[in-house]
Every structure is written in structure tokens, then in C-alpha cells.
Structure 1
Amino acid sequence: MPLNIDQLATFAAIVKAGSLGRAAIALNMTQPALSRAMKRLEHQLGVELFERHSKGIQLTEIGKAFLPYATSLQAEANQALEEIRALRGAAKGTVRVGAVASIASSILPQAIGNTLQASPGLRFDVVEGVWDLLAAGLAKHEIDIALGAETADTDEIVAIRDCCWTDTSRVVAAVGHPLARRPRLTLADTLEERWTIPPQGTGPHQHLERIFAGQGLGLPDIVVRTRSITVLKSLVVGSGFLSWMAEPMFEPERRAGLIAPLAIPGIDGGRTLMAFRRRRGSLPLPSHKFLDALRKLTSVQDRRAQPGL
């Protein structure tokens, strides 16, 4: 007998709740009925998915291996139902997209607007965050598309290679920072300043490492590492910190006369940005519509950025 959506939903609810009692409440079922449902699933699969003990339940090794497949199957089934409802006119569909801060403050709003012009019935669930959190959300089916800096494909996530564009990152400081007034500034001049950037393993941190290594320098004095864009900007504006930001990310503060890029020659802060999806499974139709709008928008912007155009 094949698996059904209810079985997958029940399994996922038990994993999330960590106990049959809490899962039964979430599913509006009695605990005995839920226990019987899980026993039927385990009998059908011929394996035990959970270990029962006095303090609750936990996944067996087989259960851990089954979890990503069950999550993917459940998401695919829900996606199919949503698209059928959309085709019948009962629903219009939702684009679930995540983006790093520089994209969320620039390209993403324009792409959403252009998508809604062509498909006004769509809805958007948008997540902003650093790349490692977006990648995890993509793998867990919390979002369907992630927008970030170019990176290697993994077993779970792959780049959509025909949907890419570029931007530039700069060393930034408050407008009144002493380095902003220094002539013939070099990257070495920033080494003793206080810095704030996202933590190790994130795209901005790795980008900054490459920039300093390219000039034969170690990393500067990074005093504060944070994933919060608000904290980064506040430390730059209010506490004299330096930071490394993509231009779209600090453009509002530059227009307001609060943050300015430092004029440091010889730094190539360019990077390639891309859209990413899960390796397995199909992409929902609403996401395809969003990608079409994003491709058109970024191709026009990249042509404008080329010399002579």
C-alpha cells in the first residue's frame, strides 16, 4: 500500500512535537488513535521509526533517514494540491522566497512588483537572512527559492544558473569617521579600526577574507560579529565601526548622509548573485513566474552596468 499525505503529516507532526501527546493535540486526535496510525505506518514500512521511552519518543536511525524523504513527499503533495486549486480558480498560489539583505533591499522588491503585474493573484512569503539560514530553510521546504551570492552546489541545493546578476561590496564607515577624510587611504589603514561583520561561514565574512588575503593582509580587528543588519548599520553610524556591505544594502543610509563607502583603490568587491532551489522535486508554478520576472529584471540591469550600454 502506498504512503498517503495523512501518514506523512502525522509522522512530521510527531517529529516536530517530540511526543505523542503534544502531536495528538496539534492534530486534534486522541493519543491512542495517533499511536495506532504510527504503528500502521511502521508495519507498512516494515521498520520502527521511533524509539519509545519514559520521557517521550525519538527517531531511530531509520526514522532519521526517512525524515527528509517524508518531508519532501509531504511538501510535493501539498504543492500539487495548491497548484490544482489554482488551476481551478480556488487559489492563486504563493511564492516562498528568501534573500540575503542586499538583495532583499534592492532587486527583490522590484522582482515582486513585476511578478504581480503579470500575475496579480499571487501572494508572497518573504524571508530575509544570512545565507546559511536561507540554505537550511530551502532544504527544510520552508522556502522554495533562495537568493544569495554564488556558491557551490550541495547534495540538497543547486543554483539556477540562468538567473544570475552582479553587485559590488565596499568598506563602509559613518560619514564623519576619521578615515573618510584621510587622503590616499589603503586597506592596511583599516586594520586597527573596530569592525563589525556577519559571523564566520557567511558570504560577507568569506568575501572580506578574500579581499584582505588578496592584498597579503590578515583580517582586521573584528570586534562584533552579528547576523543582524540593523545592528551592523547602527554600529557603523553610531559607534564608529567599519563594515563590509553590498552597495544596495547601505544605499538608504548613503542617501540620508549617514554612511559612505571609503575610497580605497585596488579593491574588487564585485560578486555574482544567483537564485537557488532544492535539488530534488519540482519547483511550484508560482515560483516559476517569479523567476521569469527576476530573469528579465536582472538581465536588463546587468546590460546597463556594462560599459558603453
Structure 2
Amino acid sequence: MRLEDLDYFLAVAASGHVGRASETVGATQPALTKGIQRLERELQIQLFERTAKGMTLTVPGQAFYERLRAARLGIDEAVKEANDLHLGKVGLIRAGISPNYAEGLFGDACASLLRQRPAARIQVTVGLNDKLFAALRQGDLDFCLSALPRGEQNEFDQRPLFNDHLHVVAREDHPLFRAHGLRFDGLGRESWILPGPQVMARRAVEASFAERGLPPPNVVIESNSSIASLMNVVKNTNLLGITGEMTLKQAFGAGLRMLELEGAMWPRTVGIITRRNAYLSPLTKRFIELLETAAK
């Protein structure tokens, strides 16, 4: 069984199309087609359904894909570990950061690391947790600094750092702050700016509405852009938004105010998230230690 055939299979399975996969792996479409046919003959299994729209994994193909993807990540990490041992302290850190924490804590840790390890390189991806967790699963990130997912997570290891509870916020002179007897139910009459439905913060808000028998919030702007951009919209409209306590203490939190209502706060812990049993280079481990120190 050829390693390149396995890589061809992974690329086609991920893209669902031989043409797109050929661009990813830098091989011709006939080479990919022959490689997959060779693999199917060796396994004596049909891995794909061929359709006019592309390639769809069969049930056995999907099971093979999940196992092979994990094994391929293990091979990549073995190579990375060997290189790290050869190069010593030189290396690359691939960090995923929630936009709430890209300043302050993360910046302090970066400065400390570069003083200690001037040859280090840090590749930073800033995004919300849905994007970061997907990249972490794929092995594109070494770790994330983000709100920790709630409930049991078999795929991730978590290191709590601090609490940063989520609040409903509005501009300081929003009419709601002059309303008498305002309760959570009244938020259902307002319009909102929220991140996409796959983001944990959005799901937490919608769950609170559902628990009270309310329809989902009226989201007129859905955006996964930077927290500064979102809060700027809140400051200049009557829209409600959500953000953590740390955001309100930063420069772009000026002009915003929390709505202190029962049920309008969601406990949240921020920390370091890594793939379970994944290899972490000595340099990455040192950077995580610096983040833990900066969070104290």
C-alpha cells in the first residue's frame, strides 16, 4: 500500500472532488484516480460513490477515512517531533486565539517567549471557537486559547486559566437602561448582533431563550468578525450584543454597558485546548507555560 495513494484518498475525501484534490496534493487528476483505484483493489472495498457532482464516501469509506486521518496526523507529528529533537529549541508554534484574548494576555506571553527564544516563530490564527476547534481537529493548530467547551470532550485536553463570564451588552444610553421592571423576557423584543450559530456563545444565548419558552433572538446582523468591529456596531445602534467581562475592560469596551438581568449572564472559563494525546513540541509547551503565568 503506497503512502501517496493514502494521501490522494484523504485529499479527495476532504474535498469531494478529484479536480480540487489534485490542486491540493500537486498531482494530476489521472494520478489521483489511479491511486484510489489501486487502493480500492488492495482493500477490496468501494471507498467512493462516483456522481456527476463529485465523489461521496461510502459507509466503509467514511470509516476508513476517519481512521486514516488520525493515523496520518500521528505520522506528521512523529516527523515533527523528530525534527524538534534534531533542531533543539528552534521551531514553529501554531496558535489559535479567540479575538477576545488576542491582546493583553497573548501579547505578553509572546513578548516573554521571544526574549527567551529569539529564534522561535509563532503562527497565529485569530477566530471564534467553531473555526479554531475545526482547525485543531485537523492538526492545523497546536493549541487554542479560547472559552472551554462545556461537557465531556473525548477529543480535547483542557487547561483552565481564568473565568470570563459572558454578558448581554448595549450602548450606554440604550433605552433599556431607562425601562422599569425589565426582565429577561423583554430581550425577546430587541434586535441583536451575534456570531454564527455554531459558536458556543450564540448557542448559550439561544438555549436561555428556549428554556423560557421564547423564540430565538431576532438576529439582524450575524458576524464572525473581530470583537472590536462587533462592539463598534453595538455602540452605534440599538442592537444588543454579547461579550466577556474582559472585553468591557479593554479600549473598545468604552461606551458599552452590561444589562444586569437574571439569566443574562453565562458562566464561562477560558483556557488552553489541545488535541488529546497530540504531540506538543518543547517550544509549544514553554509557550503554554508562559500563558499560564500571564493569566495568574
TM range (shorter): 0.7 to 0.9
CA distance in 2, matches of 1:283, 1:199: 30
Structure 2 residues without counterparts, runs of 5 or longer: none
Q: Confirm or deny: 8 A CA contact 2:95 2:123 kept in the other structure.
A: yes
Q: Which of residues 73, 77, 80 in structure 1 aligns to 2:78?
A: 80
CA distance in 2, matches of 1:220, 1:24: 43
Q: Does 1:60 align with 2:58?
A: yes
Q: Which of residues 216, 223, 238 in structure 1 aligns to 2:219?
A: 223
Q: How big is the shift at 1:239? A: 1.3
Aligned to 2:193: 196
The alignment partner of 1:273 has SS state of: strand
Q: Does 1:278 align with 2:272?
A: no
Q: Confirm or deny: 8 A CA contact 1:106 1:249 kept in the other structure.
A: no
CA RMSD of aligned residues (A): 3.6
Inter-CA distance 190–95: structure 2 relative to 1 (3 Å threshold): farther
Q: Does 1:287 align with 2:284?
A: yes
CA distance in 1, matches of 2:156, 2:58: 29
Q: Confirm or deny: 8 A CA contact 2:196 2:222 kept in the other structure.
A: yes
The alignment partner of 2:290 has SS state of: helix
Aligned to 1:145: 143
Q: Confirm or deny: 8 A CA contact 1:188 1:217 kept in the other structure.
A: no
Q: Percent identity?
A: 28
Q: Confirm or deny: 8 A CA contact 1:193 1:220 kept in the other structure.
A: no
The alignment partner of 1:79 has SS state of: helix
TM-score, reference length from structure 1: 0.74
Q: How big is the shift at 1:72? A: 2.4
Structure 1 residues without counterparts, runs of 5 or longer: 301-309
21-30 vs 289-298, greater mean Cα deviation = 21-30
CA distance in 1, matches of 2:287, 2:209: 36
CA distance in 2, matches of 1:63, 1:266: 46
In the alignment of these two chains, the number of paired residues is: 291
Inter-CA distance 88–110: structure 2 relative to 1 (3 Å threshold): same
Inter-CA distance 91–9: structure 2 relative to 1 (3 Å threshold): farther
CA distance in 2, matches of 1:116, 1:199: 35
The alignment partner of 2:288 has SS state of: helix
Q: Which of residues 174, 194, 211 in structure 2 aligns to 1:177?
A: 174
Q: Confirm or deny: 8 A CA contact 2:167 2:266 kept in the other structure.
A: yes
Q: Which of residues 243, 246, 267 in structure 2 aligns to 1:245?
A: 243
Aligned to 1:303: none
Counterpart mapping for 1:97-136 below 5 A = 97-136=95-134
TM-score, reference length from structure 2: 0.77
